[in-house]
């Protein structure tokens, strides 16, 4: 199945005209300006194989992320990086964007769970990288290179992802803490053998998620104290955070994402902030100069992204060093010699 | 620079290099004790952990600073000479095998732990720092570096980055790629670059993922930031016996199906336990066809809960005997046999050859059955230790290199295991790398288009193909030759290489 569909993709690619790869279109807001004619890959969908005891699921790029997640949930497993759905994401789009959700600091990022990718390159060839097994060092790790490449290296036809069992037990605790105290607590706890799953700080309130064996979660709750937030309120809270549907994320002010070392002191920037990932991911609502924010992030040892809204002309992603940009250009050139895929979505040069 | 870009099609010719000029330039750039050129000094570098392949390099450079690494790379590039980076030389795929026209760049003298940040839970180390030295240095802080390849006493973090090393705990804690935040490296041009950073992600393409496991083909590592994780409060291991290897394989799947990710899940077959037991006296059940070691770690409560659950699953899966470690010395004794498998193989046989394929877990029993048939076919014994939790196999083929034809039969045996690994939906290498050893087996796993893409990735970092040439990715010409050799009976010969 899908032969005609793939042939269709191939002939579009062979026209050598700029294409805008599209899955669910849920992340059209993300990255550089959209350019090129739409190539809708959402119809190349479906789960190819899923064997719970192998901890691997393989799905076509157009498969709705929600379908993949419900297939996993039916067998009490999940995608532990909690890639956001933003209403209608596809698996291919999730991998191309490489975004991870609240559990990222403890469970790992989307790229960490990528085991294999089938790609159609800029010359219409189907390339298979990685595979379905946990450990695989044959050839360069191109599958993980594809994660987060924003579709600039090729059309993602199929992806194999590592999955994990759903935690047996789960608890959410709340602590009233100022940002500096919350950062201190998150970093201290992360250095102890606790079943931490996710953290979120906003407006003087630190919310902490614990997941794991029942006994471990119960013991951790006793050790840490705080105020328990019960389900379904707790589950709704973490889901809304992943999907960015809370009040913090709504409204028109540009949304900036800072990825910084978790120990970075509170960023002295005007505008409301929300912290995740033990302090390693910080969201800011502010209409400020891009260069100012890129510099602030670089000073802290990280980078900043204009995630949603705002003026993209100042640069969406933090700039790369000339040597790294040269490697980027050559990689782009080798996978997409005619500049067909998602030009300018990651950097204007690519 | 007038050098030609290397191509995917055929091997490069490095024979025109002006050795005298290169040696003079290196001597000018490096302190006297940082450059080896006398044959007796080069001999220790002629092979890595896979001693079947040996080759003397033109010289060995042992820089003491990053600036010297830069200088050596620039000099080699100017001379058009190949560079083979080397850590402790414990690799098992001849990835650090010298190039006859090239320089070995040893990072062994760069062995400082530069910084440990207990709050951020990171350590910044030079590439020559040993894997275990990191965990030892941070143990007083209650932290450790999770990937634990069995060579961890000796192997270096730079080598771990090159190979994307795993270990017995990687099902739960991940591979090197999951535990390294940042790599600082020198390109062949001498430019210094950083892949990743001290945050959890970096802008642009994930070059960190590409660099990890790149076997010294893309850049030379000069600094690594590793993630440190809290030491689990407690660990306990179950040792379960099975009277049938298929049942043991099914038990592995059953543990995973029960929703548990064990800290370690290892399998040894009867010949393997028979080989190690006299050596370590671990108390293994020598009547069992296979034993599983199944570990849980975490808080005391977590371990108690998981051990009870795993024990029940193993019983239901038909274990004939189950023992749970009751103390830390007992846990370590159960593991000692598994960890001593390689030396034990060396004790019962003059030589052994370790394979490294990975297959889907559910095919473990099938693979073992096939290996038993291959033992007869090739008239060689094989003992099997598996990282069963992630389907990574380490069959150890026992042979005697002094017996004419045994090495060739061993290589054919190994190649057939790897071919079957690919056929069963797996890969030719789970954690040891392709290096020089498995370069032909790459032609079994990948088609010409993928191989061309790999060469293009290589060119994006190293257009002239000077970093570890003829390793990792076969040329299309080589695959064509290999295919032809297959037709002629499967014997692989490397006439340019001396054999021991």
What sections of B198-269 are H helices per DSSP? 207-211, 245-257
Identify all chain A residues contacting B299, using CB atoms and an 8 Å cutoff: 193-195, 215-216, 219-220
B431 has a chain A CB within 8 A of its CB: yes
Give which of B297, B299, B366, B388 to mutate to test A binding, by max A Cβ within 10 Å. B299
Q: Per the CB < 8 Å rule, is B198 touching A259?
A: no
**Tokens 């989307």 found at:** A110
Identify all chain B residues contacting A318, using CB atoms and an 8 Å cutoff: 203
Q: Which residues contact A307 (CB under 8 A, 6 or more apart)?
A: A30, A255, A256, A257, A283
Is B3's pLDDT higher than 80? no
**Tokens 């992204």 found at:** A305
Whole-number pLDDT of residue B150: 86
Q: How confident is the model at residue B490 (pLDDT cuts 50, 70, 90)?
A: very low
What sections of B379-474 are H helices per DSSP? 406-423, 442-445, 448-461
SS3 B449: helix
Please give the residue of chain B at the shortest CA–CA distance from A135: B430
What residues form DSSP beta bridges with B405?
Answer: none
B349-389, pLDDT tens digit by residue?
999 999 999 999 889 889 999 999 999 999 999 999 999 99
Q: Which residues contact B150 (CB under 8 A, 6 or more apart)?
A: B167, B168, B339, B342
Q: How confident is the model at residue B493 (pLDDT cuts 50, 70, 90)?
A: very low
Q: How confident is the model at residue A155 (pLDDT cuts 50, 70, 90)?
A: very high
Whole-number pLDDT of residue A237: 98
B447-462, pLDDT tens digit by residue?
999 999 999 999 999 9
Distances (CA, A) of B136 to A248, A329, B145: 44, 41, 9
Q: Number of Cβ pairs closer than 8 Å across A and B?
A: 268
Give the rounded percent of residues in chain B with a pLDDT score beyond 90.
86
CA distance A29 to A257: 14
Q: How confident is the model at residue B279 (pLDDT cuts 50, 70, 90)?
A: confident
Kind of pairing between the strands at A37-40 and A19-22: parallel
Q: Per the CB < 8 Å rule, is B120 touching A165?
A: no
Q: Let me know if A226 is exposed, middle or buried by CB neighbors in 10 A (0-12, 13-18, 19+).
A: middle
Give which of B201, B440, B459 to mutate to test A binding, by max A Cβ within 10 Å. B201
Q: Per the CB < 8 Å rule, is A133 touching B426?
A: yes
Identify all chain A residues contacting B143, using CB atoms and an 8 Å cutoff: 191
ipTM above 0.90, yes or no: yes
Distances (CA, A) of B175 to B195, B206, B418: 17, 16, 21
Q: What's the rounded mean pLDDT across residues B109-113?
A: 98
Whole-number pLDDT of residue A28: 97
Joined tokens for residue B106: 């040893």
Q: Let me know if B402 is exposed, middle or buried by CB neighbors in 10 A (0-12, 13-18, 19+).
A: exposed
Whole-number pLDDT of residue B8: 87
Q: Cα-flanking dihedrals φ and ψ of residue B265, to 5°?
A: -145, 100
Q: Per the CB < 8 Å rule, is A193 touching B427?
A: no
A157-174, pLDDT tens digit by residue?
999 999 999 999 999 999
Size of chain A, expressed as the number of residues it contains: 350
| Of A52, A136, A193, Cβ closest to residue B233 | A193
Whole-number pLDDT of residue B132: 97
Q: Per the CB < 8 Å rule, is A334 touching B457?
A: yes
Other Cβ atoms closer than 10 A to A123 = 16
B253 has a chain A CB within 8 A of its CB: yes
Give the rounded percent of residues in chain A with a pLDDT score beyond 70.
99
Identify all chain A residues contacting B253, using CB atoms and an 8 Å cutoff: 53-54
Whole-number pLDDT of residue B16: 92
DSSP one-letter code for B336: H
B429 has a chain A CB within 8 A of its CB: yes
CA–chain centroid gap for B480, Å, is 27
Q: Per the CB < 8 Å rule, is B230 touching A54?
A: no
B202-230, pLDDT tens digit by residue?
999 999 999 999 999 999 999 999 999 99
Q: Per the CB < 8 Å rule, is B164 touching A188?
A: no
Q: What's the rounded mean pLDDT across residues B303-314?
A: 95
Q: What's the rounded mean pLDDT across residues B233-247?
A: 95
Full strand arrangement of the beta sheet holding B103-106: B35-36, B59-61, B103-106, B83-86
Kind of pairing between the strands at A227-229 and A196-202: unpaired
CA distance B155 to B161: 11
Sign of CA dihedral B253, B258, B259, B264: negative
Q: Helices B341-348 and B328-339 meet at what angle, rounded to 10? A: 50
Identify all chain A residues contacting B118, using CB atoms and an 8 Å cutoff: 191
CA distance B219 to B184: 9
Kind and range of the H or E element at B159? helix B157-163
Is A2's pLDDT higher than 80? no
Q: Cα-flanking dihedrals φ and ψ of residue B166, to 5°?
A: -110, -125
Q: Are B70 and B190 in contact (CB under 8 A)?
A: yes
Which of A188, A135, A126, A309 has its CA nearest to residue B177? A135
Q: Per the CB < 8 Å rule, is A140 touching B213?
A: yes
Torsion of Cα atoms, A339 then A344 then A345 then A347, to 10°? 110
Task: Determine the distance in angstroms separating the CA of A147 from the nearest CA of chain B, rounded to an integer.
Answer: 7
**Tokens 């890639």 found at:** A83
Determine the straight-line distance between the first and last CA of chain A, rounded to whole angstroms: 33
B24-33, pLDDT tens digit by residue?
999 999 999 9
Whole-number pLDDT of residue B496: 39
| Of A190, A216, A318, Cβ closest to residue B301 | A216
Q: How confident is the model at residue A13 (pLDDT cuts 50, 70, 90)?
A: very high
B140-196, pLDDT tens digit by residue?
999 999 999 988 999 999 999 999 999 888 989 999 999 999 999 999 999 999 999
Joined tokens for residue A66: 């929600």
Angle B68-B72-B75 from CA coordinates, rounded to 5°: 135
Is B491's pLDDT higher than 60? no
DSSP one-letter code for A346: S
Is B288's pLDDT higher than 70? yes
Indicate the pTM of the whole model: 0.96
B225 has a chain A CB within 8 A of its CB: no
Identify all chain B residues contacting A281, using CB atoms and an 8 Å cutoff: 200
């Amino acid at each position: 199945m899908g032969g005609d569909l793939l042939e269709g993709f191939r002939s579009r690619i062979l026209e050598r005209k700029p294409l805008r790869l599209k899955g669910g279109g849920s992340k059209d807001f993300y990255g550089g300006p959209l350019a090129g004619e739409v190539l809708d890959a959402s119809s190349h969908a479906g789960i190819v194989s899923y064997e719970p005891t192998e901890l691997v699921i393989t799905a076509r790029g157009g498969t709705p992320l929600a379908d993949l997640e419900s297939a996993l949930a039916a067998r009490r497993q999940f995608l532990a990086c909690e890639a956001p759905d933003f209403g209608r994401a596809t698996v291919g789009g999730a991998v191309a964007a490489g975004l991870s959700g609240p559990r990222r600091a403890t469970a790992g990022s989307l790229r960490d769970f990528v085991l294999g990718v089938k790609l159609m390159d800029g010359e219409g060839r189907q390339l298979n990288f990685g595979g379905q097994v946990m450990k695989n060092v044959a050839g360069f790790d191109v599958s993980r290179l594809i994660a987060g490449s924003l579709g600039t290296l090729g059309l993602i036809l199929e992806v194999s992802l590592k999955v994990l069992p759903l935690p047996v037990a789960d608890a959410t605790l709340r602590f009233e803490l100022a940002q500096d105290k919350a950062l201190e607590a998150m970093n201290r706890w992360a250095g102890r053998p606790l079943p931490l799953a996710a953290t979120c700080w906003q407006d003087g309130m630190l919310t902490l998620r614990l997941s794991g064996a029942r006994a471990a979660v119960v013991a951790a709750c006793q050790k840490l104290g705080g105020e328990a937030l019960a389900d379904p309120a707790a589950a709704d809270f973490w889901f809304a955070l992943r999907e960015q549907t809370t009040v913090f994320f709504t409204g028109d002010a540009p949304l900036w994402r800072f990825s910084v070392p978790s120990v970075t002191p509170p960023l002295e920037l005007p505008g409301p902030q929300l912290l995740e990932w033990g302090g390693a991911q910080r969201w800011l609502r502010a209409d400020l100069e891009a260069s100012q924010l890129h510099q602030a992030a670089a000073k802290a040892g990280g980078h900043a992204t204009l995630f949603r809204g705002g003026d993209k002309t100042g640069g969406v992603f933090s700039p790369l060093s000339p040597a790294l940009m040269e490697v980027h250009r050559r990689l782009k050139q080798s996978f997409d010699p005619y500049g067909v895929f998602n030009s300018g979505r990651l950097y204007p040069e690519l | 620079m007038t050098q030609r870009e290397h191509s995917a099609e055929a091997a490069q010719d490095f024979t025109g290099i002006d050795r005298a000029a290169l040696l003079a330039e290196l001597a000018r750039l490096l302190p006297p004790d940082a450059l080896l050129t006398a044959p007796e000094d080069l001999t220790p570098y002629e092979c890595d952990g896979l001693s079947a392949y040996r080759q003397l390099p033109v010289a060995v450079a042992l820089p003491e600073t990053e600036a010297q690494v830069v200088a050596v790379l620039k000099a080699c590039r100017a001379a058009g000479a190949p560079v083979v980076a080397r850590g402790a030389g414990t690799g098992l795929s001849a990835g650090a095998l010298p190039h006859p026209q090239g320089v070995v760049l040893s990072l062994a003298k760069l062995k400082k732990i530069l910084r440990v940040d207990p709050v951020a839970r990171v350590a910044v180390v030079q590439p020559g720092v040993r894997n275990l030295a990191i965990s030892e240095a941070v143990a007083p802080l209650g932290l450790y570096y999770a990937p634990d390849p069995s060579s961890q006493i000796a192997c270096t973090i730079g080598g771990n980055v090159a190979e994307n090393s795993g270990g017995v705990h990687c099902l739960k804690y991940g591979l090197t790629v999951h535990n390294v935040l940042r790599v600082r490296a020198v390109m062949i041009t001498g430019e210094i670059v950083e892949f990743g950073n001290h945050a959890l992600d970096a802008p642009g393409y994930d070059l960190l993922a590409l660099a990890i496991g790149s076997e010294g083909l893309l850049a030379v590592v000069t600094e690594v930031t590793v993630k440190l994780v809290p030491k689990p409060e407690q660990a306990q291991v179950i040792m379960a016996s099975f009277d049938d290897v298929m049942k043991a394989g099914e038990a592995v799947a059953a543990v995973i199906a029960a929703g548990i990710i064990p800290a370690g899940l290892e399998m040894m077959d009867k010949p393997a336990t028979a080989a190690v037991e006299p050596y370590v006296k671990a108390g293994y059940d020598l009547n069992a066809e296979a034993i599983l070691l199944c570990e849980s770690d975490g808080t005391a409560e977590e371990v108690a809960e998981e051990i009870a659950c795993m024990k029940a699953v193993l019983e239901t899966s038909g274990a004939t005997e189950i023992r749970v470690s009751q103390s830390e010395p007992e846990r370590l004794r159960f593991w000692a046999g598994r960890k001593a498998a390689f030396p034990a193989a060396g004790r019962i046989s003059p030589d052994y050859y370790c394979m490294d394929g990975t297959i889907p877990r559910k095919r473990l029993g099938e693979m073992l059955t096939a290996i038993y048939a291959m033992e007869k076919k090739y008239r060689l014994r094989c003992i099997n230790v598996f990282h069963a939790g992630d389907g990574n196999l380490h069959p150890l083929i026992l042979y005697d290199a002094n017996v004419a034809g045994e090495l060739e039969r061993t290589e054919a045996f190994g190649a057939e295991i790897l071919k079957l690994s690919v056929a069963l939906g797996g890969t030719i290498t789970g954690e040891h790398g392709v290096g020089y050893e498995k370069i032909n087996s790459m032609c079994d796993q990948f088609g010409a288009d993928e191989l061309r893409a790999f060469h293009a990735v290589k060119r994006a970092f190293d257009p002239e193909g000077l970093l570890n040439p003829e390793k990792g990715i076969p040329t299309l010409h080589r695959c064509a030759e290999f295919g032809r050799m297959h037709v002629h009976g499967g014997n692989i010969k490397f006439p340019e290489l001396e054999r021991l």
